[in-house]
Structure 1
Amino acid sequence: MKPLKPVFLKCAVQKYEWGKRGEESAAARIFSRNSGCPVEDKPYAELWMGTHDSGPSLVLFSGSSPDSKLLPLKEWLSQNPEVLGDRVVQRWGTDLPFLFKVLSVAKALSIQAHPDKELAPVLHKERPDIYKDPNHKPEMALALTEFEALCGFIDLEELKGVLGSLPEIVNLVGKESVEELLNIDRSDAKDVKAALQSVFTQLMSAKQDAVSETVLELKSRLIKEKQVRHLTTKEQLALRLEEQYPNDVGVLSSFFLNYVKLNPGEALYLDANEPHAYIYGDCVECMATSDNVVRAGLTPKYRDVETLCSMLTYKQGYPNILKGAEVSEYTKSYQPPFDEFEVDQCCLPAGRSTTFSAVQKPSIFIVLDGHGSMKIGLEDEILLTTGNIFLVPAGMEIILTANADSAETSSKDNDTNENNKSSTFQLCRAVVNSRFV
């Protein structure tokens, strides 16, 4: 058997219209360093690292020329399954169970949810043009900058307060339905869920003419009241969203969801069938290998309102924010309750080293900033710099070292790396969750 070594990857970028433009986008800057392509004055939304067919990574072989035909990572893994480790192969076959990304969000993403393991294959079979694969898609976002999102339904008492202050929404969905929700006993979880589902479904299913009129009424009222009082955070957000998506039902549905602001180094995880929308910022994101999205607002794309409203759990309450558990002096681990992945963040000061011990599962590393090196056993050091992305096989220990002059001094890079971390060698790793292997 040939000895295993890390392989470097050339990764794909997605230029969705909601991405940050040009050099403002962390995804663009890292993609440019990874691929050698110049950054254009276009929106760069997502850098993909993995095997999904919508944006597959390519394996860079030592000595290959720029115009060499590169092997897709998925094909390379099928030829080298030992890279994945026996248990991973037994569970997921000869493919990575996770998809790793860098996201740069300038404009709110759609009000959306991802199907679970039962629904995903059904949707894929019925609409393969819309739902690209049969897999579920739990995910986690680790903030690189301050990062804003909507996630999950607000609790019942907050929702009652919201509905009591928004006559426009009450008129749209009907006073009878709202009264039922306002008067419900929170101790009866089944009734609460049914009432919330009823009101939310009526809102999301309202005719466009009625939605447009309601959004205009809300906007006009808030602009007037802004002159005499300080608007709430949600009211300010609604006006922001209306500027981006005029006359959209997502402006109204945002009042039903938790507004979350992550600091750099905090993470938010999302199970299947939970409503959410990313609003602004840069993050590292990891998920099960899927691109299935059920949308219903804040988007020009296909909306599947009936599916979204029927699939949601309608669980209420503020989401769990992960701060990261220290696994070494320089590394934090973020472990969501999903078998497919967890994420490590490593910030090495100049001249310092850290070891990633051998584990029986594959890893993908991305260098977010700085210069350093990787050491494997007795082999020569491999130099690393911003934009390097590489897969480390199962069972391999690596030692990472930051150069003495690790910092990169680009002002835009420093904008992305908060908390005075510009003098560090910064990496993130996606790896199969420790709870599985």
Structure 2
Amino acid sequence: MDEEDDKKFKKCRKKRLFGADRRKRLLRLKCCVQNYDWGVIGCNSQVARLFLLNSGRCNVDPGECYAEFWIGTHKSGPSYVVYGRDNNAAAAFGSKPLSLKDCISLDPVALLGDKVARKWGGDLPFLFKVLSIEKALSIQAHPDKDLARSLNEAQPSIYKDDNHKPEMALALTRFEALCGFISSKELKAVLSSVPEIVELVQCADAEKFSHDSEQDGKEKVKQLFESIFSQIMSSNKGLVREAVCKLKRRLSLEKKKRQLSAKEQLILRLESQYPADVGILAAFFLNYVELKPGEALYVGPNEPHAYISGECIECMATSDNVVRAGLTSKKRDVQALLSMLNYKQGFPEILRGVSLNEYTRKYAPPFDEFEVDRCILPQAASVSFPSVPGPSLFLVMSGKGTIITSYSEETTFQEGEVLFVPAYMEVSITATAIELHMYRAGINNRFFRDL
């Protein structure tokens, strides 16, 4: 295709996107699935169910792990525009399906809004996901923008983009995670009750933290905490294997005499999934978090965390950068992780959402790129999502409904469907037949307030 033909083709696509009257339209999306070994197997996975409904396939592989359902423009799992219910974008646009990113590039200002397009160019600044977790994910952290840029330049095959990755997990089921470092008081308890860890740490550091940390300044305490954690993570594999073996044996015996703590029970579960892994010991240093459905946890750059089990809605800046150091068979970069961590101590904030109306709650973490709304509509109930200066993605988890836009477009949608709503478009949604359960991801409102 020469340059002139390419211009004509893009013009044709643009006309199809907006129509002859230039009205904005809803876009249906066909989305991507990721099969990682920590995912839930086969039809037991919420991700598998959504992918089946969204893709129009007849069945899922009963032996495959379905881990993540991706909605967005990231190159590792792009979404595609669908016209009609035959899931055939190629029929609408010719030789190949049109990705959401390519679609946005036809008119970024119209679809994203001028402020968003000016800040992030022709790309969606957030990535929207559903996760189904059977086996613990790695102990990891996501780099800030400067480090992401450096890692991408040095190892582009591993760190595939140069963006940071703040994220939020909103529980669909009971959800377990490790997130952030425990308090100094809790670490003292660990050093006094877990001899297997003390054996791997310099005696002077362990004793100093146990006896003198209250008299030390915060910076000295932080340095001491960092030293102890770094020694554990950098320990010889043989010593780690021996320590984990001793720990497992001791907890297995104590289990017969007393009720193990929630953290101790978790340790034994992690050992069964990742035998002899240093991440089992690292878990003692991290906060154990249990979320109920409707509760959310957010993770900033350079914060250690690991999702353990359950299903969740996840939203993040558009990136797939992960620095791993434990509970994984993938590449580890222990020194990079140790150097990037902020070593902030204390239990993470749990978001329970702010009520927008009787059916909708908003979850807004302290990041510009995204926020998430959770909406549960009883049969025949209606709710409006007002016009906002940025784009939105709607995911229908269950139920059926009708949607009417401020441009007089009316259409039906059902579970498994994903809709892209352009900037400055108000939508009104009504549940039909049964209860409608859906989620909306969009630009954080604080971004528009701060301009």
TM-score range, shorter chain: over 0.9
In structure 1, C-alpha distance between the alignment counterparts of 2:196 and 2:216, rounded to whole Å: 28
Alignment partner of 1:302: what SS? Answer: coil
CA–CA distance in 2 between the matches of 1:112 and 1:435? 28
Distance 1:179-1:270 versus aligned 2 partners, 3 A rule: same
Aligned residue in 2 for 1:132: 160
Name which of 268, 271, 277 aligns with 1:242.
271
TM-score, with structure 2 as normaliser: 0.91
Q: C-alpha separation between the residues in 2 aligned to 1:64 and 1:144?
A: 29
Cα deviation code 1:346-378 (max 9, x no counterpart): 000000000000011000000001111111136
The equivalences for 1:216-255 within 5 A come to 216-255=245-284
The residue that corresponds to 2:354 in the other structure is: 325
Name the structure 2 match of 1:269.
298
| Alignment-mate amino acid for residue 298 of structure 1 | L
> Which residue of 417, 422, 440 corresponds with 1:429?
440
- In 1, distance between residues paired with 2:337 and 2:159? 13
Say which of 23, 27, 35 aligns to 1:7: 27
- Match for 2:78: what amino acid? P
Q: Within 5 Å, give how 1:348-427 maps onto structure 2.
A: 348-377=377-406, 379=408, 381-403=410-432, 405-406=433-434, 424-427=435-438
Q: CA 1:67–1:340 in structure 2 vs 1: closer, same or farther (change >3 Å)? A: closer
Aligned counterparts of 1:61 and 1:380: Cα–Cα separation in 2: 14
Counterpart position of 2:316: 287
Q: CA offset at residue 64 of structure 1?
A: 6.2
| Displacement after TM superposition at 1:181 (Å) | 1.9
Aligned to 1:51: 73
How far does residue 315 in structure 1 lie from its aligned partner after superposition? 0.3
2:53 maps to amino acid: R
Identity of aligned residues (%): 54
Are 1:140 and 1:267, in contact at CA under 8 Å, matched by a contact in 2?
Answer: yes
Question: Which of residues 165, 184, 193 in structure 2 aligns to 1:165?
Answer: 193
Q: Gapped runs of 5+ residues in structure 1?
A: 407-423
- Is 1:79 equivalent to 2:106 in the alignment? yes
Deviations 1:147-179, CA, capped at 9 Å, x for gaps: 000000011101100111011000012222211
Counterpart contact for 2:89–2:98, Cα < 8 Å: no
Provide the C-alpha distance between the structure 2 equivalents of 1:261 and 1:65, rounded to a whole number of angstroms. Answer: 38
CA distance in structure 2 between the aligned counterparts of 1:323 and 1:84, rounded to whole angstroms = 28
The DSSP-based 3-state class of the residue aligned with 1:368 is strand
- Give ranges in structure 2 of 5+ residues lacking alignment: 1-20, 91-95
More helix as a share of residues: 2
Q: Quote the Cα distance in structure 2 between the aligned partners of 1:153 and 1:253.
A: 10
Q: Does 1:40 align with 2:61?
A: yes
Kept in 2, the 8 Å contact 1:186–1:192? The answer is no
CA distance in 1, matches of 2:215, 2:426: 52
Q: Following TM superposition, by how much is the alpha carbon of 1:118 offset from its aligned partner in structure 2, in angstroms? A: 1.2
What's the C-alpha RMSD, in Å, of the aligned pairs? Answer: 1.3
Cα distance, 1:9 vs. partner? Answer: 0.4
Distance 1:426 1:209, change over 3 A: same
In structure 2, the partner of 1:209 is 238
What is residue 414 of structure 1 aligned with on the other side?
A: none
Distance change >3 Å, CA 95–CA 186, structure 1 → 2? farther
Count residues in correspondence.
419
In 2, Cα distance between equivalents of 1:187 and 1:343 = 41
Would you say the 8 A contact 1:156–1:186 is kept in 2? no
Between the aligned partners of 1:60 and 1:231, the Cα distance in structure 2 is 52
Cα offset, 1:232, TM superposition: 1.1
Q: Distance in 2 between matches of 1:194 and 1:158?
A: 16
Alignment of 1:72-151 (within 5 A): 72-81=99-108, 82-151=110-179
Partner Cα distance (2:152, 2:87) in 1:
38
* More off after superposition, 373-382 vs 84-93: 373-382
CA distance in 2 between counterparts of 1:214 and 1:186 reads 31
Q: Is the 8 A contact 1:33 1:387 kept in 2?
A: yes
